[in-house]
Structure 1
Amino acid sequence: MPRVLIPLAAGCEELEAVTIIDLLRRARIDVVTASLTAGPVHCSRGTVLLADRLLDEIADEDFDMIALPGGLPGADHLNADPRIHRLINRLAAADKHVAAICAAPKVLVGNGVANGHRLTAFPGALDALDTSQVQLTGQPVEVDNKFITSRGPGTAMDFSLQLIETLLGKAARDQVEAPLQRP
């Protein structure tokens, strides 16, 4: 069974975080949520989440994917945390999947790990960064090799279903998607 790390930072976009967690768990993927700091995580719209573990407790564990929820200032907190960058670099070096939605692709751009790859992000989220080494597509969900990115809260379900398909295949995605009653 694939194992996915979802780091939760204060100010993360709760719609994205919860959608990713929920859909991946529906697919029976082993999801581990980890907070950057002790205590509840206060999201961008006031929702409070409790992570499974602290990031320090799982930093050396093996994962098949890391999926970064966006939102501000959550994505900025992820980008400022050297532990997140070490995890991303380790997973990318091991040819594992790195995923980010909304403003969180800024972590991949700032890190340089996605140089030479296609990405998408929330409009304007990357404006302050040098994006000359990546190709921004504007697609709702972009898959380029081991990098999966998406635009924002409205694409969270498509993004999460793509993560399932990437890890388990189209049949698993279809099995999770069917009871959701999407149009």
Structure 2
Amino acid sequence: MSSALRNKTVAILATDGFEQVELTEPKQAVEQAGATTRLLSIKDGEIQGMHHDRKGDRLKVDGLVADANVDDFDALILPGGVANPDALRMDEAAVAFVRDFYRSGKPIGVICHGPWIMIEADVVRGRRMTSWPSVRTDLRNAGAEVVDEEVVTDKGIVSSRKPDDLPAFCRKIVEEFAEGRHASRT
């Protein structure tokens, strides 16, 4: 086990419909690098994972995003899935948490459909990002520079396209999360 993320706490924000591997693999990667993770959601109890269009595992939530404080975390992971980020972007507390996290300068890892909540939080303007193909127009319309690459990093924002990109995404989030806060995202 690496110690690159020792003494760091990583928030993972998700709800029902998250793409399971896009949550579990990044979670495992940062934990293997020494981080503690906390699964935040918009509801108590458990949330339902998906393997594309089939139900996956249910995961126990550690806390509500409405009760979470950005200051308690060093980095944020936003997994995809279609239903997950769509529901999160409709929750005021989740959107505010992502907006505040972005403004803090702390690193964020986002994959697949995950950028939808960042779009809602109005934090993608001027950022170079990638995503699942159907989200790219939304990113472009929100002011992001959109590229089709396995993993893209722009001032602490690590974005990736799909589950096939997870090895590169996981390596890069560990690297960026170890680097820590960016002084400015402008």
TM-score above 0.5, yes or no: yes
Distance 1:35 1:128, change over 3 A: same
Counterpart residue number, 2:100: 90
- Count of residue pairs the alignment pairs up: 169
Instruction: Please give the per-residue CA displacement for 1:47-75, whole angstroms capped at 9, x wherever unaligned.
Output: 21112223234246521211100001111
Quote how far apart the aligned CAs of 1:161 are: 1.5
Gaps of 5+ in 2: 1-6, 180-186
In 1, the alpha carbon distance for the partners of 2:149 and 2:117 equals: 18
In the TM superposition, residue 5 of structure 1 has moved relative to its aligned partner by 0.5
Deviation at 1:6, TM superposition (A): 0.1
Opposite residue 156 of structure 1, the aligned amino acid is L
Tell me: CA distance 1:95–1:71, structure 2 relative to 1, closer, same or farther (3 Å): same
Alignment RMSD: 1.8
The verdict on how the C-alpha distance between 1:35 and 1:108 changes in structure 2, with shifts beyond 3 A counting, is: closer
* 2:158 partner amino acid: I
Q: Pairwise mapping of residues 19-168 of structure 1 onto structure 2 (< 5 A)?
A: 19-45=25-51, 46-47=55-56, 48-59=58-69, 61-127=71-137, 131=141, 133-168=143-178
Question: What is the TM-score normalised by the length of structure 2?
Answer: 0.83
1:164 & 1:60 partners in 2: Cα distance?
A: 19
Structure holding more strand per residue: 2
- Which residue matches 1:12? 18
Q: Which moved further from structure 2: 48-57 or 104-113?
A: 48-57
1:78 deviation in Å?
1.6
SS in structure 2 of the partner of residue 160 of structure 1:
helix
